[in-house]
Amino acid sequence: KRINELNEAAASIELTLDLPKDFTYDIPVHGRAWLFAAGLTEQTYKQHGIGYSKSLDRVILPIYDNAGNLEWFKCRALQRGQKPKYLQPARDRSKVMFRVRGSREDFQRVVVVEDIVSAIRVGKHTTTYSILGTKISTAQAAELGKFKEVTTWLDSDRAGRQGAYKIRKTLSLITEVSN
């Protein structure tokens, strides 16, 4: 019954670029368990401002610009059967990417991933950008084209393989791209 209520609430919500009103950094056990299973420690998820919404029963993954302003966020479902898997603001995100500087900043090379959590994990080691999906926009391509070398590291599912191919095809016109 709770899943049906959460799914109905998710279907009727249209998110703006404001975090949910009940956003908190106090993440309950099942939310922390999902974050740990995804490879994020408490220190890491706190460092990136990840929080929780009780009314949505979702982990909130925010993206901030260099000045600390909220640019975008995703709300990740935690319950089996909770749909959709992600909620996000209803606005253009073509210029938005989630960036993590690696243990040493590399201005020559960058790794491109699909999602925020992957960017955090890979970003522990090298500069990483999440394009928030498998399709690259013109604005994202222009930003990534500033690097000497781009490595795509998308999921191995069909959408990820197709997305990596299209990213390589697009970026290879302006920079070196590898898988």
**pLDDT, tens digit, for every residue of 103-136?**
666 678 999 999 999 999 999 989 999 999 999 9
Tell me what pLDDT residue 166 has: 95
pLDDT of residue 104: 65
- pLDDT category of residue 46 using cuts at 50, 70 and 90: very high
- In this predicted structure, the answer to whether residue 11 has a pLDDT above a threshold of 70 is yes
Mean pLDDT of 8-15: 79
| Predicted confidence (pLDDT) at residue 138 exceeds the cutoff of 70 | yes
Helix, strand, or coil here: 105? Answer: coil
Q: What is the pLDDT of residue 7?
A: 85
**Average pLDDT along the chain:** 92
95/91 Cα distance (integer angstroms):
11
pTM of the model: 0.89
Q: Which residues pair with 150 in a beta bridge?
A: 110, 177
Predicted pLDDT of residue 103: 62
pLDDT on residue 66: 85
pLDDT at residue 150 tops 80 = yes
**pLDDT of 8 strictly over 90:** no
Q: Evaluate if residue 145 carries a pLDDT over 80.
A: yes
Paired with 76 in beta bridges are 59, 86
Whole-number Å distance between alpha carbons of 49 and 64? 9
- Whole-angstrom distance, CA of residue 7 vs CA of residue 39: 26
Residues whose CB is less than 8 angstroms from the CB of residue 85 and which lie 6 or more positions away in sequence, other chains included = 76, 77
Q: Are 145 and 171 in contact (CB under 8 A)?
A: yes
**What pLDDT, on a 0 to 100 scale, did the predictor assign at position 107?**
75
> pLDDT category, 12, cuts 50, 70, 90?
confident
Q: Are 147 and 108 in contact (CB under 8 A)?
A: yes
